[in-house]
Structure 1
């Protein structure tokens, strides 16, 4: 009952799984990496770390390694894992092994099993879950879910047997009305777009190295439309004084502007930067998730030059 409830809470608005083949992730998940090897081997964990090793079964075939990140995630690792586990069972997989951080072996399990390197995957050794499943003798899947701060990470590794549909049991993000839009389409249609993958030092205006796919796409749009100008607008949550938040949000907008100018060679006269602090929220500041959503930088489309 609890498993079904968790699934309905997180995935209640998701469409049916396409052709009963794909694993549907939350609509807010964004893919970070896809490392597919046409022919490789994978040691599927079948038990917890013990006596210096992880029991495993070796599979060979097409190995599909994918990672996803969910920003502002409030769901527990079990709430994220349970619907995926149910989907695997519905596709005819047998759950071989499942564990939670300390029961898996904590630090040792995390560093002895295969993990896609950072920044494409992050595992908090105090807050993760792992699952492995098999179907027939040459078809296997593992799922790793972890939470770190206000973000959740999901890694899927699938061994596809020879002749299998490459798209079968591929994790994908669920579609919503905005999911099919490119950044430029949203910018033209709505007049603004949130640059959701930007990351800053905590409480500071320093933009982390990235990569930031949103900036790459925004720079591409500006190169394709040399007549357009934009304003980068920083926003904050309501914690602290307004003047302090306006200063911080302006610093972050300017950091994004500098990155566009210096890394992507965008004409600085085409990009303004401003900060408005907490004066334009998009969510309630009464919850951690709402405050996380309100801390953002938006690109606003201005009139043509």
Structure 2
């Protein structure tokens, strides 16, 4: 594992020749430059497709066996991990402990800069110990420049505890080598504003986390087709979305869909199973549970029984 004293050689710290005259650009020229540079994020994701797919498969397997997914980062990287974790419960109705974000400096660092805390490798290790991470868990270390001590300390501690480790960085492996089960490199090049990795590096990291968490939830049976059937019905918007899902996938009108949703305890997935199989709420819930909440698998099993 490399720990260079100077970070100037890192891809994320280099000067972008395309923006040398940044302070002389018009607003429209700024927008055009950003648009051109941000296009590189798509290519970076495409080149990381294999390790991203491996990360989805390993994480899905771990979570099916009762494991948890942890994102670890500092600054922008940490905030992105916390954001992705926080969006899983309302989107996929996951328990809050299933996907968690760990950021250097804790919750306060979400709204106030605490980048100085990223230099404490021992704090990263302590965060892993505090959450009693074990061999069933997955730990994703996120560090744009690849050298953040807080993240490296967390990954080292996670490996000792037998957890699956995933490393996400925006620098090539020769600039920051790390031992992890899966190594994801998102190479978007130097930033428009030199060293400001909240820009392209942050964007491509958000894209990668979107793919990872959504891919995992698909594998866990949290969707049916491309519908969010495990949505948590916690507000008017999500209630409306739930009714539209039921209407789209059945022949029911809005009133009938609302009645079905209520009869299922506001569980869209269960409502669909009840409608398609004729099972009552309790029997449907048992069938879903026996197939780890996978609606398609439960439907296939019921059809085979018929």
One fold, TM greater than 0.5? no
TM-score, normalized by length of structure 2? Answer: 0.29
Higher share of residues assigned strand: 1
More helix by share: 2
